[in-house]
């Protein structure tokens, strides 16, 4: 069965070295048949990269990884990223701790966002390995398909957005929401097209997110706010875009940061959740579609 044949319905798609069970018809799949604690061979890597391009979010259950195996998996996609908030931490700079307890003032990612779009070259992908889940349930992560978010807009709105550039500011979440102390010089702040083109699939992506996007250049403040609020509401309130991932202990989820958003749901207070994340440095700055 080819991916093209499964695009219209959820089901099972076969690759040469493993199988995937799709989570929705357009986004997300669980991978069965890979042990990520062991090195992957060329055939497995070829299939892994193809499945990643096909489904954008890949879930691997019952994985038993130490930090080095986790990092080695991330490196199949490129060099590892150092998160801006790791500048003052004494842990491995390539590993971001994702820990929530009853004493936490917040949980990381509890809003729709794309990881670290404040960077000039945002991460290509992230791989979160969860080892502790709330014993009462909860703690899912919701993913959203930014290809489809763009495609559901009217042609007139698509054309308008393709000419715009937005500012992405790390101070918004890291200082404004998390209350962290910025490094010398502050957190990154960069501009990216409102609509980008995925470098592998060549599909158009809606590339603004409520976590980092502060405003759209060239518009009056109230115009920018109204437009962004409309787009953020479209992402958050259109169930057709969404794919929930239910965590179990020893689950690793890999997502394409270039064409998805995610929201870590904090619905398990006062229980705990623990994981570690590695991210992969992107190859180039996000680019928009050619202008006529």
- Closest to 151 measured CA to CA, from 203, 115, 200: 203
Please indicate whether residue 198 is annotated as part of the active site. no
Q: Is 115 a catalytic residue?
A: yes
Catalytic residue chosen out of the listed positions 113, 168, 192, 263: 113
Please check whether residue 25 is in contact with residue 13, taking contact to mean a CB–CB distance below 8 angstroms: no
Beta bridge partners of 195: 206
Q: Closest by alpha carbon to 64, among 22, 34, 88, 85?
A: 34
How far apart CA 189 and CA 214 sit, in angstroms, is 10
Active site residue 277: yes
Out of 26, 70, 263, 277, the active site residue is 277
CA distance 196 to 206: 7
Closest CA to 247 of 10, 12, 30, 22: 30
3-state secondary structure (DSSP) of residue 63? coil
Q: Which of 54, 115, 119, 256 is catalytic?
A: 115
Question: Could you tell me which of 220, 281, 264 has the C-alpha nearest to residue 113?
Answer: 264
113 noted as active-site residue: yes
Whole-number Cα distances in Å, 162 to 97, 257, 259: 36, 19, 16
Q: How far is CA 260 from the centre of its chain?
A: 5
- Active-site option among 198, 262, 263, 273: 262
Give me the active site residues, please.
113, 115, 262, 277
């Amino acid at each position: 069965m080819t991916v093209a044949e499964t695009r219209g319905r959820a089901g099972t798609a076969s690759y040469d070295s493993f199988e995937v069970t799709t989570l929705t018809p357009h986004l997300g799949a669980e991978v069965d048949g890979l042990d990520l604690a062991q090195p992957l061979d060329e055939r497995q890597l070829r299939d892994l990269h193809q499945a990643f391009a096909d489904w954008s979010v890949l879930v691997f259950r019952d994985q038993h990884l130490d930090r080095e195996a986790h990092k080695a998996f991330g490196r199949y996609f490129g060099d590892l990223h150092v998160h801006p908030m790791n500048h003052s931490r004494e842990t491995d700079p390539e590993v971001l701790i994702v820990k929530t307890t009853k004493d936490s003032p917040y949980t990381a990612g509890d809003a729709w966002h794309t990881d670290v779009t404040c960077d000039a070259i945002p991460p290509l992908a992230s791989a979160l390995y969860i080892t502790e889940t709330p014993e009462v349930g909860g703690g899912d992560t919701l993913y959203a398909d930014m290809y489809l978010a763009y495609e559901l807009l009217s042609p007139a709105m698509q054309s308008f957005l393709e000419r715009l550039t937005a500012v992405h500011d790390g101070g918004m979440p890291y200082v404004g929401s998390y209350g962290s102390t910025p490094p010398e010089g502050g957190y990154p702040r960069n501009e990216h097209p409102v609509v980008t083109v995925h470098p592998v699939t060549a599909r158009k992506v809606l590339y603004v997110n409520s976590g980092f996007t502060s405003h759209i250049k060239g518009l009056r403040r109230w115009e920018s706010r109204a437009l962004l609020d409309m787009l953020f509401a479209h992402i958050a309130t259109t169930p057709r875009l969404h794919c929930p991932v239910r965590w179990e202990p020893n689950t690793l989820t890999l997502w394409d940061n270039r064409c998805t958003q995610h929201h870590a749901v904090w619905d398990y207070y006062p229980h705990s959740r623990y994981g570690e994340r590695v991210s992969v440095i992107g190859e180039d700055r996000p680019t928009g579609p050619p202008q006529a």
